[in-house]
Amino acid sequence: MEAVETGHFILSTMHTRGAGKTLGRMRQMFNLEQARGILQQYADVASFILSQGLMPDVNGKYVLCCEYFAIQEIEDRNAIRKYAEGAFQDVEERLNRPGNRKWNAELKALLSAKKLYRRCMNNSTRSPAWRTNRP
């Protein structure tokens, strides 16, 4: 965070299942007071969260699903600040707005095109029980 505040562009990785889960992981890694400070700081300096996942398709190959959360508008930053206090709904609403690619929308499109098994779709939502099933 200190490097970002001095004007350096930083890329970092975190193993999560979606942009909302990334914020949740950041919140869980620290005690509540530290997490508030870190997410407040993150809201000020972050540009985006990009989540990617490989899903098995009906042919045994994998397809890439993405979720992109652009953190450009003041509403995005405020949603992250509120998330630090436990308000999850604002982040979900920002994730679902036009311009942010939605993980579940991509999965539904693949299912409609018969490129993905329904059980894979059902197991790959952003619920806590997220897991990948191999066909």
Which amino acid makes up residue 50?
L
Confidence grade of residue 74 (pLDDT, cut at 50, 70, 90): very high
Is 64 within 8 Å of 53 (Cβ atoms)? yes
Expressed as residue numbers, the domain containing 71 is: 2-122
| pLDDT for position 101 | 61
Does 33 fall in a domain?
A: yes
Does 127 fall in a domain?
A: no
Q: Which two tokens stand for residue 128?
A: 């806590």
Answer whether residue 131 shows pLDDT above 50.
Answer: no
Q: Is the pTM of this model over 0.75?
A: no
DSSP the chain: -HHHHTT---------SSHHHHHHHHHHTS-HHHHHHHHHHHHHH--EEEEEEEEE-TTS-EEEEEEEEE--SHHHHHHHHHHHTT--HHHHHHHTSTTS--HHHHHHHHHHTT-S-HHHHHTTSSSTT--PPP-
CATH classification at residue 92: 3.40.50.300
Does 128 fall in a domain?
A: no
Answer whether residue 134 shows pLDDT above 50.
Answer: no
Count the domains in the chain.
1
Does 129 fall in a domain?
A: no
**What is the per-residue pLDDT across 18-57, written as a single tens digit (0 to 9) for each?**
777 888 888 888 888 888 888 898 898 888 888 877 777 7
Does 132 fall in a domain?
A: no
**What is the per-residue pLDDT across 115-130, written as a single tens digit (0 to 9) for each?**
777 766 665 544 333 3
Does 102 fall in a domain?
A: yes
